[in-house]
Chains A and B, each alone.
Chain A
């Protein structure tokens, strides 16, 4: 049984290991699979072309900060090599287990999106394996680049990548937590700290009212020269932990978090504590044994407060509550056809999979689309074709490219089937 990070949908699939010197697409329709951290059906298909053996570094120039690697390398291993020599990934997501290929395919964003943009901004070139055509080198600006970054694997297999890293004088972060009681306050705080490099907010939406509180976390890379990377070993989930997960216990968990998060605090913390707090627990997603649904959307700046207000009103009228909610102000969009970020506000909410939640998400879709926003495909498992087309008007470019290059019948995922790409 194969599934994304959210467990459902799951399905039988043939797993084919992409061999290190791979130069041919498999016979059957297939999709690339990296570390399996996308939540929904993006990396599901009859045949999965796994990149876990494609984990070699090819070259690292520690003077210029350029790195060439295979696409199955995890961001964790990458940082282990580059940080001690003074270089950091420009874009770091919420888990270190993501593969470089997956980071490109979802054109991921980090806590510094408002300054740095998405992952593709660090890509110097990439080698793409196309069915029937072998490997082609793709550079920024080319149509295949615009299609591949954010394209959820639908242009073929990214085999090798060259990245430009940023200088870093430490593997630690000077961090500050600023409590807030509502979105108004949060936005004001966020404006005040707009120049801080990293910033992201935790919200408590687990109560009856729309928002019970929250906090903005901001950080700067330290400059103490301590560049050694050490990951704490991750703790296993206690057996049967999932039995204790319910709306009530998760509200209590949020109460606890609020008690902690609502106090101003600052300090110097490890890279892991700042960027990857969830990685401390091994496969925490198993808490959601019946499935985990995340709703992450972004809405444009000019209508963000209205849109999020409407969405939270709709949430308040529902019986479902998110167990974990994360907010961030995003920087400008890029030109990639299916890239998620746009200048505005993004909110990600984790829910247990239930029928009422699925209904709620459909209503969310209407609000988000109406305000010109979109849902993040890396987290999605259920968006409808119509909504997708409304949210990603450039879908036509990708569909045309796939048609003209003969990819529509060979590079296929459950996501591409669902969204008719």
Chain B
């Protein structure tokens, strides 16, 4: 299995990559912005497992070049993992359009413009799986992070359409609705410890879901229940809450 990972420096992506080696992954292209951080992840994978690892410079914002970047990959991947994401600062996004733009592009626009050419190639070949890190924050907008949340919501809708389109051609799309995970993204927050998962667990969950061909998974699973509760609060009440 040849695997492309976008945003490979994310600890969840690293865990997914490690778990995919147990499912037969033999070659990786790790894509991202920081050569030093990518090299660290590449060295780790190569030292742990008997796999081939390359890195590639990739920026989600750089939409003009996404198609040619995909065309330049050494192979059409059997599996794609999308971990790119930017939580950003909600406060700043409310006044700074450039920041809002960055959040939207990194979580949504950039994923669309990268996955389209990839989907086309995988569709033409007639197999493959695409696993994308969505977020429970995209299931209901809240004042504390709705710019990020809405980008993820757009992403979920996009993936649902893409899954629908690719199904007939044997290409699977897995949407991971991820809860709180202990990563750099959440390092600044004081989250309830019992609800924060380890990247390893979430990565293993995503790898398994991709191999099984699951469509939408909550990671960890108990977030299905939490989000069912949160989604069932009527909007008239919800708008009054400080969330």
Contacts and interface: CB of A to CB of B under 8 A. Distances in A.
A83 B184 CA distance: 31
A81 B47 CA distance: 8
Main secondary structure of the interface of B (DSSP, over half): helix
A182 interface: no
Given A53-B11, A57-B48, A81-B48, A19 B43 contact: no
B48 A59 contact: no
A350 interface: no
A58 B184 contact: no
B36 A21 contact: yes
Interface residues of A, number: 12
Contacts of A20: 37, 40
Contacts of B187: 17
Contact of A58 (B11, B36, B37, B47): B47
Nearest to A73: B44
A56 to B, nearest CB: 4
A19 B36 contact: no
B11 A56 contact: no
B41 interface: yes
Interface string A115-156: 000000000000000000000000000000000000000000
Contacts, number: 28
A57 B37 contact: no
Interface residues of B, number: 11
A248 B151 CA distance: 61
A20 B40 CA distance: 8
Contacts of B40: 20-21, 56, 58
B180 to A, nearest CB: 15
Contacts of A58: 40, 43-44, 47
Given A17-B187, A19-B184, A56 B44 contact: yes
Nearest to A21: B36
From B11, B43, B44, residue with most partner A Cβ within 10 Å: B44
A67 B41 CA distance: 16
Interface string A41-77: 0000000000001001111100000010000000000
Nearest to A58: B43
Contacts of B47: 57-60, 67, 81
A12 to B, nearest CB: 12
Contacts of A19: 184
A144 B26 CA distance: 41
B161 to A, nearest CB: 36
A141 to B, nearest CB: 27
Contacts of A56: 40-41, 43-44
Interface string B1-43: 0000000000100000000000000000000000011001101
A57 B45 CA distance: 8
Contacts of A81: 47-48
Interface in B172-213: 184, 187
Contacts of B41: 56
Nearest to A56: B44
Contacts of A57: 43-44, 47-48
Contacts of A59: 43, 47
A81 B40 CA distance: 17
Interface in A1-50: 17, 19-21
A52 to B, nearest CB: 8
From B11, B37, B41, B47, residue with most partner A Cβ within 10 Å: B47
B19 to A, nearest CB: 13
A119 B70 CA distance: 47
Interface of B: 11, 36-37, 40-41, 43-44, 47-48, 184, 187
Given A17-B184, A21-B37, 14 more contacts: A17-B187, A19-B184, A20-B37, A56-B40, A56-B43, A57-B43, A57-B47, A58-B40, A58-B43, A58-B44, A58-B47, A59-B43, A67-B47, A81-B48
| A-B complex: 9 closest residue pairs judged by Cβ atoms | A57-B47, A56-B44, A60-B47, A57-B44, A81-B48, A58-B43, A57-B48, A59-B47, A56-B40
28 contacts: A17-B184, A17-B187, A19-B184, A20-B37, A20-B40, A21-B36, A21-B37, A21-B40, A53-B11, A56-B40, A56-B41, A56-B43, A56-B44, A57-B43, A57-B44, A57-B47, A57-B48, A58-B40, A58-B43, A58-B44, A58-B47, A59-B43, A59-B47, A60-B47, A60-B48, A67-B47, A81-B47, A81-B48
